[in-house]
C-alpha cells in the first residue's frame, strides 16, 4: 500500500462518525450531494464544441497538480454520457459530472427567455449555471478551453477561503468587441473578462447580475452564442464587486487564429500558471498541440486501464467530506473476477457513484447495481451495460428471482441484524458455481466499528459450503467466497 493510501485509510474510520453527523445537518437543504461541501472546488464548463481534448488534458493536469487538496467538477451542455466519460477518462481524482439544464439557474434562465433567447441559444450564459456549485467553499470557474499548469501565488490563501474575488483580465482586445451592447458599463481601464473567476466562500454575484439585467435589459431576440452581452454584463457586475484582475501575462490567451501567445500589453513576464486556448471550441488549436508535445500540458498516448479510466467515479472526498470507497487493491481483485464472468450477469449491492459497476462493465460483465439512493450513477453510467436500481437491497432481492454468476456487496451498515436477513437472500441469488465478494469483512476489528459484526457472523457460521479467499489487509477487508 502506498503512503498516500495509508494516510487516507488510517484516519478515515475514526473521522467518519463526525462527518455523518455534519452531513445529516445539511442533507435536506441542499439537493445535490456534491454541493454540500466546504472543500475548495475547481469547475469547468464544457459545451458541444471541438475542444474535448483540451478539457480532457486540463482535468488530467489539474487533478495531478493539486491532487486531493481540492475537489473537481465538470459542467457540460449537450454532451452525452459516453462523450463525457471520454473527457473524464484521464482524471486522476474524483470529478463530479454535472450535465446542465435551465433549472440549475432558473432566475437567469427566465431573464434569457424573456429576451427571446431559448436554452439552445444560451451560449456563453451557461457559464453561470449554476451560480455556484458550492456556495460555502472557495470556487474557481473556468471555460472548458482553459488549462492550469501551476499554482498562482495566492493559491493557498484561496484554498483557505481567505482570498478576495479575482477575475481574468484581457487588456489587449478591443473592448467594443469584448462587451457587446454593454461596452459603456464595463470599466475599460480594468478590462475584466469571464474566462476564469476565483470566488471566495459565500460570495453570491447572481443578485447583482439580475439587478443589472433588469435595469439594462437584453435586446430582444438575444442570441448568447454570438452576442457578447454576457461578457459586458458580467464584467460590469464583477467591477462593482471590486474584483482583483488576474493579469493576462499570468494566464495568456493562446488563440487558434493568432501566431503567438497573447500576454497582454505588458508582454510575457511573471509566472505563467495557465493558458486559455481560444477558438479551440471551433477549430484545432496549434498552441495546445505544441504545448502538449513539449510536456507543458498533460498528455498521454497510451490507453488508460479501466481502473484509471473510471478514477473520476471514486467517491473519496467527492461531497466535500471524505467518503467510503473500495480500496484499489480490492478494486483490482473485483476487476479480475468480472473479467472471468464476462458476458454473464453480475449483481452489485452498493452503487455509490458507479465506480465499480463501470469497471466491471468494461470487463464485459452484464451488471445490475442497487443502492438506496442515486448519487449520480444513473447519469454517470448511461449507455454502459449496467442496470441501475434505486432500492433498498433487501427489498430488491425479495422481489427478484434472477441469479448471478458474481455478487459483490459494499454496505454502509454491517450489523448482525442486517446480515441475518441479507445472507439467505444473497445465497438464493447466487448461481450454483457462483462467487460473492463481500467488502468490509473485517470492519469489526476497528475499535470505532466493533459493533459491525455481521460479516464476522457470516465467516464463522455460514461458509461451510464455500471456498473462502480472505483479503484482511488492506482494511476494512474483503472475502471472496466460491460456491463449490
pLDDT value at position 318? 65
Q: Are 235 and 186 within 8 A, CB to CB?
A: yes
Residue numbers in the chain where pLDDT is lower than 50? 1-28, 322
- The pTM for the full model equals 0.91
> What's the grid cell of residue 257?
487564429
3-state secondary structure of 99: strand
pLDDT value at position 315? 85
Q: Which of 247, 222, 243 has its CA nearest to residue 234? A: 243
The set of residues, in sequence order, having a beta carbon less than 8 Å from that of 353 and lying 6+ positions away, is: 94, 313, 314, 315, 318, 375, 376, 377, 380
Q: Where are the domains of the chain?
A: 33-294, 324-483
3-state secondary structure of 452: coil
- CB burial class (10 A; 0-12, 13-18, 19+) of residue 427? middle
Cα-Cα-Cα-Cα torsion 7, 9, 10, 12, nearest 10 degrees, comes to 110
pLDDT value at position 175? 75
Query: What is the sign, positive or negative, of the torsion defined by CA atoms of 121, 125, 129, 133?
Result: positive
Q: Are 66 and 75 within 8 A, CB to CB?
A: no
pLDDT value at position 19? 42
Please spell the DSSP secondary structure of 254-308, one letter per residue: --TTSSS-B--TT-S-S---EEE-TTTTTS--HHHHHHHHHTSS----SPPPHHH
pLDDT value at position 174? 79
H/E stretch holding 25 reads: helix 3-26
Cα–Cα distances in angstroms (integers) from residue 84 to residues 70, 102, 361, in the given order: 21, 19, 17
337-376, pLDDT tens digit by residue?
A: 999 999 999 999 999 999 999 999 999 999 999 999 998 9
402-443, pLDDT tens digit by residue?
A: 999 999 999 988 999 999 999 999 999 999 999 999 999 999
Residue position matching grid coordinates 458580467: 234
pLDDT value at position 101? 97
CA-to-CA distance for 353 and 346, rounded, in angstroms?
Answer: 17
pLDDT value at position 321? 52
> What's the grid cell of residue 331?
478494486
The set of residues, in sequence order, having a beta carbon less than 8 Å from that of 78 and lying 6+ positions away, is: 47, 48
DSSP letter assigned to residue 218: P
Cα–Cα distances in angstroms (integers) from residue 378 to residues 24, 150, 315, 325, 410, in the given order: 23, 34, 15, 18, 18
Cα–Cα distances in angstroms (integers) from residue 226 to residues 55, 171, 177, 231, in the given order: 22, 21, 11, 11
| Measured CA angle at 73 (ends 68, 74), to 5 deg | 135
Strands of 11-70, DSSP E: 41-46
Residue position matching grid coordinates 459483490: 408
If you classify domain 33-294 with CATH, what class do you get?
A: alpha beta
What CATH fold (topology level) applies to the domain 324-483? Rossmann fold (3.40.50)
pLDDT value at position 29? 53
Cis peptide leading into residue 130 (ω within 30°)? yes
3-state secondary structure of 454: helix
CA-to-CA distance for 205 and 238, rounded, in angstroms?
Answer: 8
172-175: Cβ within 8 A, 24+ apart: 172/248, 172/253, 172/262, 172/264, 172/265
Q: Are 182 and 232 within 8 A, CB to CB?
A: yes
- Helix residue ranges per DSSP H, 66-188: 81-88, 106-114, 155-159, 175-179
Q: How many CA atoms lie within 13 A of 301 on its CB side?
A: 3
Amino acid at each position: 500500500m502506498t503512503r498516500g493510501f495509508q494516510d487516507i485509510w488510517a484516519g478515515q474510520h475514526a473521522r467518519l462518525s463526525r462527518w455523518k453527523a455534519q452531513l445529516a445537518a445539511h442533507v435536506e437543504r441542499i439537493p445535490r450531494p456534491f454541493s454540500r461541501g466546504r472543500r475548495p472546488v475547481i469547475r469547468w464548463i464544457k459545451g458541444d464544441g471541438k475542444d474535448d481534448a483540451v478539457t480532457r488534458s486540463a482535468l488530467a493536469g489539474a487533478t495531478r497538480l493539486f491532487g486531493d487538496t481540492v475537489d473537481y467538477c465538470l459542467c457540460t451542455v449537450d454532451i452525452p454520457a459516453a462523450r463525457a466519460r471520454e473527457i473524464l477518462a484521464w482524471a486522476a481524482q474524483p470529478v463530479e459530472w454535472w450535465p446542465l439544464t435551465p433549472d440549475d439557474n432558473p432566475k437567469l434562465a427566465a431573464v434569457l427567455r424573456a429576451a427571446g433567447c431559448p436554452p439552445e441559444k444560451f451560449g456563453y450564459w451557461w457559464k453561470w449555471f449554476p451560480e455556484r456549485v458550492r456556495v460555502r467553499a472557495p470556487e474557481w470557474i473556468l471555460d472548458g478551453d482553459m488549462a492550469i499548469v501551476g499554482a498562482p501565488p495566492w493559491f493557498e490563501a484561496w484554498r483557505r477561503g481567505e482570498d478576495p474575488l479575482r477575475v481574468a483580465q484581457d487588456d489587449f482586445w478591443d473592448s467594443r468587441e469584448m462587451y457587446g451592447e454593454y461596452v459603456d458599463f464595463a470599466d475599460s481601464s480594468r478590462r475584466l473578462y469571464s474566462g476564469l473567476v476565483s470566488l471566495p466562500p459565500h460570495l453570491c454575484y447572481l443578485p447583482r447580475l439580475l439587478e443589472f439585467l433588469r435595469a439594462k435589459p437584453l435586446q430582444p431576440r438575444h442570441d448568447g452564442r454570438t452576442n457578447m452581452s454576457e461578457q459586458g454584463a458580467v464584467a460590469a457586475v464583477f467591477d462593482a464587486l471590486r474584483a482583483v484582475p488576474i493579469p493576462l501575462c499570468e494566464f495568456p490567451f493562446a488563440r487558434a487564429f493568432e501566431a503567438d501567445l497573447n500576454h497582454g500589453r505588458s508582454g510575457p513576464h511573471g509566472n505563467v500558471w495557465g493558458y486559455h486556448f481560444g477558438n479551440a471550441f471551433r477549430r484545432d488549436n496549434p498552441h495546445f498541440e505544441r504545448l502538449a508535445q513539449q510536456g507543458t500540458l498533460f498528455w498521454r498516448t497510451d490507453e488508460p486501464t479501466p481502473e484509471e479510466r473510471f478514477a473520476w467515479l471514486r467517491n473519496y472526498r467527492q461531497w466535500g467530506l471524505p467518503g467510503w470507497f473500495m480500496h484499489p487493491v480490492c478494486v483490482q481483485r473485483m476487476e479480475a473476477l468480472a473479467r472471468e464472468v464476462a458476458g454473464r450477469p453480475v449483481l452489485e449491492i452498493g452503487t455509490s457513484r458507479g465506480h465499480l459497476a463501470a469497471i466491471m462493465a468494461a470487463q464485459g460483465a452484464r451488471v445490475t447495481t442497487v443502492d438506496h439512493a442515486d448519487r449520480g450513477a444513473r447519469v454517470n453510467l448511461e449507455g454502459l451495460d449496467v442496470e441501475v436500481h434505486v432500492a433498498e437491497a433487501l427489498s430488491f432481492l425479495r422481489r427478484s428471482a434472477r441469479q448471478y454468476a458474481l455478487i459483490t456487496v459494499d454496505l454502509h451498515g454491517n450489523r448482525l441484524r442486517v446480515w441475518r436477513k441479507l445472507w439467505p437472500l444473497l445465497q438464493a441469488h447466487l448461481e450454483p458455481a457462483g462467487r460473492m465478494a463481500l467488502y468490509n469483512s473485517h470492519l469489526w476489528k476497528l475499535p470505532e466499528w466493533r459493533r459491525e459484526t455481521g460479516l464476522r457472523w457470516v465467516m464463522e457460521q455460514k461458509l461451510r459450503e464455500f471456498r473462502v479467499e480472505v483479503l484482511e489487509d488492506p482494511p476494512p477487508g474483503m472475502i471472496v467466497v466460491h460456491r463449490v
